Every structure is written in C-alpha cells, then in structure tokens.
A and B are shown apart, each in its own frame.
Chain A
Amino acid sequence: MSATTENTVHEMAAQKYKYGFTTDIAMEEFPKGLNEDIVRLISAKKSEPAWMLDWRLKAFAMWQKMEEPHWARIHHPPIDYDDLYYYAAPSAPAPKSLDEVDPSLLDMYEKLGIPLNERAALAGVAVDAVFDSVSVATTFRETLSKAGVIFCPISEAVREHPELVREYLGSVVPVADNYFAALNSAVFSDGSFVYIPKGVRCPMELSTYFRINAKNTGQFERTLIIAAEGASVSYLEGCTAPMRDENQLHAAVVELVALDEAKIKYSTVQNWYPGDADGKGGIYNFVTKRGACRGRNSKISWTQVETGSAITWKYPSCILQGDGSVGEFYSVAVTNNFQQADTGTKMIHLGKNTSSTIISKGISAGHSNNTYRGLVKIMPGASGARNFTQCDSLLIGDQCGAHTVPYIESRNMSAKVEHEATTSKIAEDQLFYCRSRGLSQEDAVGLIVNGFCKDVLKELPMEFAVEAQKLLSVSLEGSVG
C-alpha cells in the first residue's frame, strides 16, 4: 500500500449507513422471551388455523432440543434467545388498502427509496413491505391477480390459500433442517407468499422490502414462492435496519419450488445495519434459503449482493431433482470494519443432465472476515451433470481475512465438475492508472470493485443493479487501501 492510500484509509470517516434512522410509530410487542405461549400468541394474532399452530409447536419442540451451530467462521457473544421480542407490529389494525397505511410508514418507505404509492412506484415492480413482524402493504395486487398470480403476506396465504401453503411450506426446508430454520418455523411472523400458476409469466417484478425497526426485536420472516409448470417469476428482496448499538437477530427462511419448465429468479440486496466502525451493533443474519427444482428443465437462480449485517450466515441452495434442471448462484459479499460473512451455496445434483453455476465474489476490508463456503454434490443418478464454480476473493488492507471452503463430491463419472478460486488484492497499478486519469482514490476503488463483481451484478434486474453498484462503493468507504 502506498502512503497516500494508507492516509486515505485513516482520513475516511466510519462508513455511512444512510438507512440507519428509526421510525416512531405506536407498536404492539409481545413480552420478551420464547416459550410455547409466545408461539401460541403469534399464531392467534395471525388468526391461524389449528394445523398451522400444530406445525409451529412441533417446530418449537424440535428447536428446544437442537443446538446452535458453530461450524461457520463467525464469532459472536452467545445470543440470549430469552432477551428478544419475537413479535412487534404497528398497533393500528391491519390496513385493508394502501390508503389506510399509516402515513409515517409510507414516509419511511419513501425515505428508503421504496415508494408504496402505486403511481410513484417503480414501474413494473410490485412490492410487499414487511415492517418488523408484519406485512404493512402489498402493491399492485389487482394487476397481479388478473394474471392469476398470488402475491400476498404469508400470514394471509395461510388463511386464504391453506391448500397451497400446507403442500409446500417446509417441503424444501424441513422444520428441523437446522437450528435457525426450526426457530423460524416456530415463530415466523410474516413474509411473502407467491404462487405463479401454470404457464404464467409473472407480468411484473415482485419485491419484498424488509425493515427491522423495533428495538431488541428479532425478525423471522418466511417466504414461499411456487412456480407451477411453465411459470416464471423474478423476485427481489431488499432489507435495511436502523443503527442500534445492540445486535439484532434476523433468522429468515425462504423456500422456492419450481415445477416442470418453471423458472424462478431470486435477487437479494442485503443491507441490514452492519454495525459501526468499531464493530458495535448490527444485525445477526442467520438465513436459510433453498430452492427445489422439482420439475424437469426447471431453473432457480439466486443472485445476492450482501453488504450489510454484522454477521451473515447464509447459503442459498438448489436441489436439482428434475432432469435437465438448472441452478445458479451469483454472489457478491462485501465485509468491512468488523463484519463477518460466512456465505455460499449448495448445489445438490440428483437428476440427469442437471447443471449448476456458482460465481462468488468476496471482498474483505477493514478488520472483517469473509468466507465462501459451498458444496457441490453429484449423486449417482445425476448422469451428465455439470458444475462450474468460480470464487474470487479480493482483500483490501492487511487486517482482514478472506477464506474459501468449497466441498466437492462427485459420484457419477459422466458428471463434470470444475472449480476455480483465486485470491488477490486491488492492484496498485490499476489504482494508479485510474487516478492518473483523474479519478479519486475512492472512485477508483469503487470502479475496480465493481469491475471485479461485474459477472454477478449483470445478473441483477436493472432496477437493482444501479442501486447495488452504489451500495458496493458506499460499503467500502473508509476501507480504501
């Protein structure tokens, strides 16, 4: 590192998190702590049928017997699960339409750049806004229902579409899949439900915007997306949280099901509060995301840009059951200051001629640690399966860590698996070249990092790509070196 570069590092203030404000709104919170009564309360609050409550209670019983996993390269003080609120929601009755939504909430989403007013909304994007434990608004529902698409809060789907929810909920991520999934299954409060019927190409992008606002509150959203035969959908997810000194827990579960010839594209820009420059505060993000390519020639594509959270523990995966099915994972994970990310994917090849692609770009700066962890598993029946994995890490500064932990298992000789990984730093000559053409140090780093991530960013829907690029630069502010 040059002296100038070094100086810039110190001169830069702590990174700016522009979504760190809080919103004052009358809230209803359940008592702190987790027990069967809380699970029952959540279920009752949502007016759930008995089967749903039974499912939750079963999950809770299993969770109590499980232990928090510690195999990931992350370190944190023990989480006191009894010191959290498991339900927090605006106390006003649930709005029936956008006109009834509390204006301070609408203002807040406006500030986040997510106008919920349909006229002002991003063209072609329907939004479900989840605020702490509840969905506060879902836009463009009529437009979608004309096409036969169901897009609603999952709490509503449990009541209105029980046959679909019962068939698919927990079918990709079983209740006892892992500690955090079991916890989520017991206490999930809201999230989005999407059903694209046979042959329908969803007429617009669907999007859920998650916001944690309340203090000491865990957010446990649950998302279930089903694309029936020949259907296709592109789904976007965004998340932010206020700056708070305490760590907050986020343990979501996302399940995707693609039937014959169906396609699901799931994009995430994860920008939960990452904590301050000294590592204080920030979200603990323990998320289970998994898609099942059940049908032949089905396709599930995960794209994620992970810049937020103090801790990220997340492995969006694909189970490639259907012959000819395709799984993709495109990821950019940026860690700065004291952030820790342990993220990657699993591609489980079961069907014939299944193929998967993994492109992972990890960028570590500050004192952070960034780990790619992935599994490619070719089962004996997966004749003709293909996998290509490319994972690249970029280090900025000499106090951070970049780690790559791939597992590759092949039990079929006709399968072809290729894996490549590299680790490097931002080249001084690239920086110099940019600066000699007039770019500031910050801009030069932003430019180079964006170039490094290009293969992933190009997979994002247009509306998100620009935002994601900006986010990358912002996340790395103060790290340059």
Chain B
Amino acid sequence: MPGWKPLEMTALPTRKLEAWRYTDLRALSAMSFGEVPNPPAPVLPDLALPRLVFLNGVSSENLSSAVPYARGFEAVAEPSAEPLALINAAHAQQGITLEIPAGVDAGTVLLISQAGGTVPFAFHPRHRITLGAGARLTIIEIAKGDGVYWHNPVTDIVLQDGAKLEHVRLQDESREAFNLSTIRAEIAENAAYEHFTATIGAKLSRTEIHAALLGTNALVHLNAAQLLTGTQHGDFTSVIAHKAPNCASRQTVKSVLAEKARGVFQGRIEVARVAQKTDGYQMNQALLLSPDAEMDIKPELEIFADDVKCSHGATIGALDNEQVFYLRSRGIPEAEARSMLIRAFLEEALEPVAQADAKALLEAEIETWWVKQ
C-alpha cells in the first residue's frame, strides 16, 4: 500500500497515565506491524442495507453500495493530544466522510470492516459523520476479522441542532487482534446521540468515547455490552461533558466475563458550572462467570453546578443462585436458566437499540456467544 509508514510504538499510552491504569498496552507495543496484506475473501452480513465496506482498512469499491452523502477519506488536523488519535492522524489514509444535509432522514447505513492476513498489520481509519439540523441517520458498524492486526479507528461525529444519530457497533474482531476505537461526538441543542457497542472480539480492546453536550436539551445514550472469555481484555471508557443546561446523559454498560477475561469500565460525567438541570445517570454492572475473571470499574462524577441530578451505580457479582434455582424449580434446565438470566442482565443496555436489523444482529451474536460457552 502506498504511503505506508512504520509505526512508532513508543507513542502508545502507558499505565502510568490515570486514564490507562486498567488497560496495559505492553502486548501491543511489543508488536511490530508490517505492510497491510491483501485482504481475505469477505464474508458480509446478509442485510439488505446500503453499505460501506473496508477490507484491511481499505475501502472496497466493489463491495460497497452507493451511499448518498458519503465521500471518501479527508485528512483533518488532529485537534487533541490523545496518543491514539495522534497515531491515527499520522497514519490515516482511509475512512468515510458522511455529511447528511439538514432535515434529511438518511435511513440506515452499514459500515463494515473486515480484516485478515498472515502477517501482523495495523490500520487507522478516520471517519467523520456530520448531521445537519434535524437530520436523521442510523449507522450499524461491524468489525470482524482473522489473524493478528491492530485496528485503530477514530470517528468524529458532529450533530447539529435537533439531529439524531443512532450508532450501533458490533466489535467481533479476531481473538488475536487489538481494537482501540476512539469516538468523539459533539451534540448541539435538541440533538441526540444514541450509541451502543457490543464488545465480543479482540484479544485486547478499548472503546473510548468523548461526548460533549453543547446545547440545551441535548441527549446522549452510551450503552454497551461486553461479552468476554479466554484471556480477552475489554475496556469501555467514556467521558461525557455536560456543557449546556438541561441536557441528559444515560449510560448502561454491562459486562459478562467468563474464563480469565478482564473487563474495564471507566466513565466520567463532567458537569460544567453552566450546565444547570443536568440529568446524568450511569449504571455499570458486571457478571463474573468464572473464578479467574476480573472486573475493574471507575465511575467518576465531576460536578460544578448545583441544580443537577447525577447518579451512578455499579455492581459486580456472580449469577444469583436464588434466581437460577427459581427458574430450575419451574422446570427450566440449568444452561437455559443461566442463558435467560444473562440475556435479562443485558436487557437494560440493549433495550434502547431501536433499529430492528441492528437489534436482531446483536441478539444473534449474544446467542452465539453464549452457545460457545
């Protein structure tokens, strides 16, 4: 691939940084990544929706359909000093730019990344999604793959007044891969960003979301489910900045951890002095299915306005034996009882996903994950 540059792995964040205290990237920094190999034969989901397909991070003209308002990659200066975003900015050559004009309902778009190869490689897509005033869009983002690679996408989202974006992500990367995703959303007055991430794949992954509520009555939902097993490490980190009055944020993040998996949730709600009447809610719950699983949680509230209603809750524990017994006493076999309870456990996070295809896709993935256990 032309323009390929070797990576400076020394730029990766270390655990000395408070934001990275629970996620150790040494396994990643020990890697050396070569040039991006030819892509594998694609396996695409059977969904009749317009789609944008990336193979090993490269846009595939053949597999993508014509998506209105979509353009290719456009380089922009990286505004932050975040290490991963800086690495992305230095290496990004691919990505989508979607600009939905004001008032347009652009329906649902699939954004697919499929990766695979025999040598380790890395790719750094940069996506930009802008919704004009009152525009609507649903994006279903699916990342899958085989082999060893590092997927380091940055997605910048701008929602203008009254716009609404539903963003549903399924991260089902190769079990040997690294996925470090950065998503930044700016949400204007009356706009809504509804996010859901299912983390199922990757050896090590982190979804880091920065959402800024910039106008009154803006809304953000950041929900997630992490289903991890083996020695997988999954991190969901969010920073929600309430910078205008009367905004609401809702977060429900659920982790189900089997074998030696380790789950991380870090969530910060920042309420600026002007952000009176903020309504912030954050719920984080983890189920440990094995004695070797581990969950680390750091929910933070940073509040500078007095007329606010902010709360967070967190629980970590095993499946409730009382509940399992109750179901079994009604004739439901143990495996099915446990499956029902895990599905019920995830329900609160999954419930806001409105797009029917997305919901069905997630349901199927959860079912498959459980059957494999």
Spell out A's residues near B (CB within 8 Å): 71, 378, 380, 393, 395-425
Q: Is B78 an interface residue (CB 8 A)?
A: no
A70 CB to nearest chain B CB (Å): 11
In the complex, the answer to whether A413 meets B302 with C-beta atoms within 8 Å is no
Which of B37-45, B127-135, B314-322, B326-334 lies at the interface?
B314-322
Is B317 a contact of A415 with CB atoms below 8 Å? yes
Closest residue to A414 on the B side, CB-wise?
B318
Contact A423 B315 (CB under 8 A): no
Enumerate 29 A-B pairs (CB-CB under 8 Å) in ascending A order: A380-B291, A398-B306, A400-B306, A402-B303, A405-B298, A406-B297, A406-B298, A406-B300, A407-B297, A408-B295, A408-B297, A412-B288, A413-B289, A413-B290, A413-B293, A413-B317, A413-B318, A415-B317, A416-B317, A417-B317, A418-B314, A419-B312, A421-B311, A421-B312, A423-B301, A423-B303, A423-B310, A423-B311, A425-B308
- Tell which of B273, B299, B306 touches A421, judged by Cβ atoms closer than 8 Å: B299
Question: Do B298 and A408 have beta carbons less than 8 Å apart?
Answer: yes
Interface digits, B259-298 against A, CB 8 Å rule (1 contact, 0 not)? 0000000000000010010000000001011111111111
B313 at the A/B interface (Cβ < 8 Å)?
yes
- Residues A402 and B301 in contact, CB atoms below 8 Å apart: yes
Closest B residue, CB atoms, query A403: B302
Residues on A with C-beta less than 8 A from B304 are 400-401
Instruction: Tell me, yes or no, whether B106 is within 8 Å of chain A by CB.
Output: no
CB-contact partner of B291 in A395, A406, A413, A416, under 8 A: A413
- Asked if B61 is at the interface (CB within 8 A of a chain A CB), the reply is no
A410 in contact with B306 given A393-B301, A405-B300, A423-B311 (CB within 8 Å): no
Question: For B74, what are the chain A residues with a Cβ–Cβ distance below 8 Å?
Answer: none
Tell me if B's interface is mostly helix, strand, loop or mixed.
Answer: strand
Given contacts A404-B301, A410-B288, A421-B299, are A415 and B316 in contact (CB under 8 A)? yes
Docked complex Cα distance between A402 and B300 (Å): 11
CA distance A378 to B293 in the complex (A): 12
Structural contact, A417 and B303, CB atoms closer than 8 A: no
Residue count of chain B within 8 Å CB distance of chain A: 35
Given the complex of chains A and B, what is the CA–CA distance between A412 and B273 in angstroms? Answer: 40
Is the CB–CB distance between B299 and A419 below 8 Å? yes
Which of the residues B290, B294, B300 comes within 8 Å of A404, measured between beta carbons?
B300
Which chain B residue lies CB-closest to A402? B303
Q: In the bound complex, what is the Cα–Cα distance between A408 and B292 (angstroms)?
A: 16
Decide if A401 touches B291 in the complex (CB within 8 Å): no
CB pair B295–A409 under 8 Å, yes or no, is yes
Given contacts A71-B18, A403-B303, whether A413 and B310 have CB atoms under 8 Å apart is no
Q: Which B1-35 residues sit within 8 Å CB-CB of chain A?
A: 18
Chain A residue at minimum C-beta to C-beta distance from B307: A425
Chain A residue contacts of B301, Cβ below 8 A: 393, 402-404, 421, 423
- Residue B305 at the chain A interface, CB threshold 8 Å: yes
Cβ-defined partner of A395 (8 Å) among B286, B299, B303: B303
Task: Please tell me if the beta carbons of A393 and B318 are within 8 angstroms of each other in the complex.
Answer: no
3 pairs of A and B residues whose beta carbons are closest in the complex: A413-B288, A395-B306, A419-B314
Measured in the bound complex, the distance between the Cα atoms of B286 and A402 in whole Å is: 26
User: Which single member of A398, A419, A422 contacts B315 (CB below 8 Å)?
Assistant: A419
With the chains together, A54 CA to B312 CA distance in Å? 48
6 additional contacts (CB under 8 A) given A395-B308, A405-B300: A378-B316, A409-B294, A411-B294, A413-B291, A419-B312, A422-B309
